[in-house]
């Protein structure tokens, strides 16, 4: 019995010694960037398109280069460098996003994003779901790494009852298959 406790003591001691060493080896990974390039194909109502700037993931959230995305849809936007606020103007719908702030306003409604907007190498990235909703569209994953964006049509979405359709354009969830 003493041999078992002695063996367990030696094993536990080696873990105590090994853990700080392992933690030191992992430290560079823990401090590495949370942003990764996203390999996602975009389509609008079934027609594929590319953005001139890359898409990224911030942790698990897909983020779009805001200006590039909006330019594809001819949507007006403004930037206030002093407050680091990005405003999207799509007809009568005005949406605001502020760098570092998870709270956004889309059409006057306050939403909380999972990831705040961020500037990387001079490009503003905004959570894809929120940016899609800001132009009154919805999105569905239609295949592995294929995100289809389409105009929100209220009557169409009320008549269809599937888990793949976002029922409300202000529901910022992007549906995953």
109, 90: one domain: yes
In a domain, 166, yes or no: no
Q: Are residues 23 and 41 in the same domain?
A: no
What is the per-residue pLDDT for 156? 53
Do 128 and 47 sit in the same domain of this protein? yes
Does a structural domain hold residue 169? Answer: no
Spell out the residues 6+ positions from residue 73 whose beta carbon is closer than 8 angstroms to its own: 44, 90, 135
Number of domains in the chain: 2
Segments forming the whole domain that contains residue 11: 1-32
- Strand spans (E) along 39-122: 41-44, 47-49, 55-58, 61-65, 76-80, 85-90, 93-98, 103-106, 109-112, 118-120
**1 shares a domain with 22:** yes
44 and 112 within one domain: yes
The CA distance from 75 to 126, in Å, is 15
Residue 1, domain member (yes or no):
yes
Are 26 and 86 in a shared domain? no
What is the pLDDT at residue 7? 35
If the chain, 177 residues long, is cut into consecutive pieces of 10 residues, what is the mean pLDDT of each piece? 36 34 32 78 93 93 96 96 96 95 96 96 96 94 91 60 38 43
Q: Are residues 123 and 148 in the same domain?
A: yes
Residue 109 lies in a domain: yes
* DSSP summary character for residue 175: B
Q: What phi, psi does 64 have (nearest 5°)?
A: -105, 150
Question: Nearest-CA neighbor of 162 among 135, 142, 147, 146?
Answer: 142
- My answer on whether 91 and 15 are in the same domain is no
Same domain, 18 and 40: no
Select from 153, 173, 146, 177 the least CA-distant residue to 49: 146
pTM above 0.75, yes or no: no
- Specify whether 92 is located in the same domain as 155: yes
Any idea what the CATH number is for the domain that residue 118 is in? 3.30.457.10
pLDDT value for 154: 62
- For residue 40, tell me if it sits in a domain: yes
87 shares a domain with 8: no
């Amino acid at each position: 019995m003493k041999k078992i406790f002695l063996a367990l003591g030696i094993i536990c001691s080696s873990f105590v010694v090994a853990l700080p060493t392992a933690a030191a080896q992992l430290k560079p990974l823990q401090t590495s960037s949370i942003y990764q390039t996203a390999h996602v194909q975009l389509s609008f109502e079934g027609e594929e398109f590319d953005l001139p700037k890359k898409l990224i993931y911030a942790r698990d959230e897909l983020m779009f280069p805001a200006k590039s995305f909006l330019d594809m849809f001819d949507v007006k936007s403004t930037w206030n460098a002093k407050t680091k606020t990005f405003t999207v103007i799509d007809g009568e719908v005005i949406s605001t996003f502020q760098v570092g702030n998870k709270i956004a306003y889309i059409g006057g409604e306050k939403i909380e994003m999972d990831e705040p907007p961020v500037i990387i190498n001079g490009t503003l990235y905004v959570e894809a779901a929120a940016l899609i909703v800001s132009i009154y569209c919805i999105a569905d994953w239609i295949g592995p790494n294929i995100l289809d964006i389409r105009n929100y049509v209220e009557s169409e979405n009320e008549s269809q009852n599937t888990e793949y359709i976002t029922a409300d354009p202000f529901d910022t969830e992007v549906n995953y298959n």
